């Protein structure tokens, strides 16, 4: 896998997080393949319509937060990739404190020259108390 592909995947991941922080559904949806699937504490959401429902369901969970993605480990080839990265979530309004942390395990696909998430699975660390 080329270094430029790894950088594109990291930027895709940053756009995903920034869109959550900005509650920007259109940008968030642009990071997904149309058959994308998200798995996490709220359940499993597959396809564009269900992913839109997920974004709405996240609501207050993402409002006034700062999502930081880090520790990227990416492998694959020119068309498919896997990524593992850490997620840190901070309060950005009341006080600068860590709210939650977890691990994303992703599958990605390159379509029309752009990387997209095919699957994102997030597991929050046990210290998270919703």
Residue 129 within a domain: no
Residue 58 within a domain: yes
Q: How would residue 128 be classed by pLDDT, with cut points 50, 70 and 90?
A: confident
CA distance 73 to 9: 10
Is the predicted pLDDT of residue 19 greater than 90, yes or no?
Answer: yes
Residue 92 within a domain: yes
Query: How is residue 11 annotated by DSSP?
Result: H
Q: Do the beta carbons of residue 16 and residue 22 sit within 8 Å?
A: no
Residue 34 within a domain: yes
Mean pLDDT, rounded, of the chain:
95
CATH code for the domain in which residue 53 is found:
3.10.450.50
Run of H or E including 100: strand 98-111
Residue 73 within a domain: yes
Residue 130 within a domain: no
Q: How many domains does the chain have?
A: 1
pLDDT tens across 58-96, in order?
A: 988 888 899 999 999 999 999 999 999 999 999 999 888
Q: Which domain holds residue 104?
A: 3-124
Six token digits for residue 119: 């699957």
CA distance 39 to 44: 5
DSSP 16-51: HHHHHHTT-HHHHHHTEEEEEEEEETTEEEESHHHH
- At residue 9, the 3 state secondary structure works out as helix
Residue 54 within a domain: yes
Residue 113 within a domain: yes
Q: How many residues does the chain have?
A: 130
């Amino acid at each position: 896998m080329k270094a430029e592909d790894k950088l594109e995947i990291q930027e895709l991941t940053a756009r995903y997080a920034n869109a959550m922080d900005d509650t920007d559904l259109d940008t968030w949806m642009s990071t997904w393949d149309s058959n994308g699937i998200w798995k996490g504490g709220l359940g499993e959401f597959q396809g564009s319509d269900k992913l839109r429902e997920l974004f709405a369901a996240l609501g207050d969970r993402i409002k006034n937060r700062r999502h930081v993605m880090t520790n990227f480990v990416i492998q694959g080839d020119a068309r498919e990739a896997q990524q593992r990265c850490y997620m840190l979530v901070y309060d950005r309004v009341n006080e600068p404190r860590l709210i939650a942390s977890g691990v994303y395990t992703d599958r990605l696909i390159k379509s029309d020259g752009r990387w997209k998430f095919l699957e994102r699975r997030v597991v929050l660390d046990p210290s998270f108390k919703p």
